[in-house]
Amino acid sequence: MIDVIILNKAISEIKNRRNIARAENNMHFEEINEKIPEISEINNQLAKTSMNLLNIIKSGQNISEKMEDLKEKNIQAQKIIKNLLTIHGYPEDYLQIKYTCEKCFDTGFINNEKCECLQKLIAKITANEMNKNSQINLCSFDSFDLNYYRGNNPESTAKYRNIMSKIYNYCKKYADNFSLSSSNILMFGKTGLGKTHLSLSIANEVLKKGYNVLYDSAMNYLNQIEKEHFGRDISGKDTLSVLLTADLLILDDFGTEFEKSFYVSVIYNIINTRLNRGLPTIISTNLYHEEILEKYGERIFSRLFTVYESMEFVGTDIRLIKRKSG
């Protein structure tokens, strides 16, 4: 069920797109009428012919021959107009309305069904609403500092920084080149090693590209889905549906939720459905291989460690280092 407020926002945005396209088209016509008066004259003649045809229709006369004649005149007139536009340095489609969506002509609907453009806009507005309380804008690749990765000796410090440098570069390249066919990522390792920072940095960059990104903790999403499933939420939201269709879904703190068979079932549904749809997902967790297998079972474990690009974060808790130095 779609939130009515979100639906109205999306329809309003589509309407605004249509109004902008038509206003721009009117400006083009005014410009051409002034600079190429021959085109204005041709359009006036076509309008008069159409008006005469309308009067004939009203009188009940046979119009089949006149219709064919009008079609032919229209075709010839369009050719002349395109030629005149080209001669005067304009593109031949300069007088056509440039809709954002050529499928529905910025109405949002095709045969009373929601157009793909409206569905995408609804998904994007929904994601923005759901991300309002997240920390997406707080992290960036520029603020990621490899100097915080330290070991007990120079050798281990160099090793940690080498590993984390590769992970950083992979994530940066992933964000820069993101598409709907991008790979899935599993970030795992102890707390305070930058998993949240890098996943938020990816979210930030992908959002800038105009994609629909959802970011929150697995626990928050699962709690909301549970409320909706068992009728404890009367808002009409369908969080699960939104998660299954987002361009990029980022589940943070995976594994911190309570152990419930319902949660395991939902997690499997999310992971498996998005894999089947070819939609990328990023999961970050403090759990290691054995813990994930024990908590979620073989089906989820096998998908995370065979289909996802898994990367182990190493080092010492950065938050503790900052606390000691600050």
- Please report the pLDDT score of residue 267 as a whole number: 95
* Planar angle of CA 48, 51, 56, nearest 5 degrees: 130
Query: What is the pLDDT confidence band of residue 163, given thresholds at 50, 70 and 90?
Result: very high
Regarding pTM above 0.75, the answer is no
Distances (CA, A) of 292 to 151, 189, 275: 26, 12, 19
Nearby residues of 194 by Cβ (< 8 Å), 6 or more positions away: 144, 164, 313, 315, 318
Average pLDDT of span 140-144: 90
Average pLDDT of span 96-118: 93
pLDDT digits (tens, 9 = 90+) for 239-296: 898 899 999 999 999 998 888 899 999 999 999 999 999 999 999 999 999 999 999 9
**Res 326 pLDDT > 80:** no
Residue spans of the domains in the chain: they are: 1-112, 133-325
Q: Which CATH number describes the domain made up of 133-325?
A: 3.40.50.300
Nearby residues of 317 by Cβ (< 8 Å), 6 or more positions away: 190, 191, 192, 193
Which of 28, 36, 313 minimizes the C-alpha distance to 192? 313
Strand segments, DSSP code E, in 76-172 are 109-110, 113-114
**Res 141 pLDDT > 90:** yes
**Res 231 pLDDT > 60:** yes
Query: What is the pLDDT confidence band of residue 80, given thresholds at 50, 70 and 90?
Result: very high
- Please report the pLDDT score of residue 66 as a whole number: 67
